Amino acid sequence: MERSTNPNERVIELLVDRVTDGLNLGQQRELDELTANMSEMTLIDDLTAIDLAAGFSELAYVQEHYQPLPDSLRQKLIEQGTGPVSSLLTANARTAPVELADDDEETDHRFVIGPQRLGWLAAAAMFVIATVGWWQNLFPGKDTPLTLGQRRAALIQEASDVQISKWNKPKAERFANATGDVVWSESRQSGFMRLKGMPKNDPKVRQYQLWIVDPKRDKHPVDGGVFDVAENGEVIIPIDAKLSVKPTVFAITEEKPGGVVVSAGPLLLVATLGQ
Q: Give the residues across from 253 on adjacent strands.
A: 209
Nearer to another protein, 107 or 140 (CB): 107
CB 195 within 8 A of CB 178: yes
Nearest distance in Å: CB 114, another protein: 17
- 13: Cβ contacts below 8 Å, ≥ 6 apart: 3, 4
Complex with another protein: residue 9 or 140, whichever CB lies closer? 9
Q: How far is the CB of 137 from another protein (least distance, A)?
A: 16
- Rounded to a whole number of angstroms, the minimum distance from the CB of residue 147 to another protein is 21
Q: Among 266, 164, 130, 141, which Cα is nearest to 209's?
A: 266
Shortest separation between residue 126's beta carbon and another protein, angstroms: 8
Compute the least distance from the CB of residue 143 to another protein, in Å. 30
What span, in angstroms and rounded, lies between the C-alpha atoms of 187 and 165? 17
In the chain, what's the furthest Cα-to-Cα distance?
66
Q: Among residues 76 and 200, whose Cβ is nearest to another protein?
A: 76
The single-letter code of the amino acid at 226 is V
Our CB check for another protein shows the closer of 1 and 143 to be 1
- Displacement of CA 164 from its chain's centroid (Å): 6
Torsion, CA 101, CA 104, CA 110, CA 116, rounded to 10: -40
Give me the least distance between CB of 141 and another protein, in Å please: 27
Closer of 170 and 225 to another protein (Cβ): 170
Q: In this complex, which beta carbon is closest to another protein, that of residue 86 or of residue 140?
A: 86
Contact 210, 224 (CB under 8 A): yes
Contacts with 20 (C-beta within 8 Å, 6 or more apart), sequence order: 54
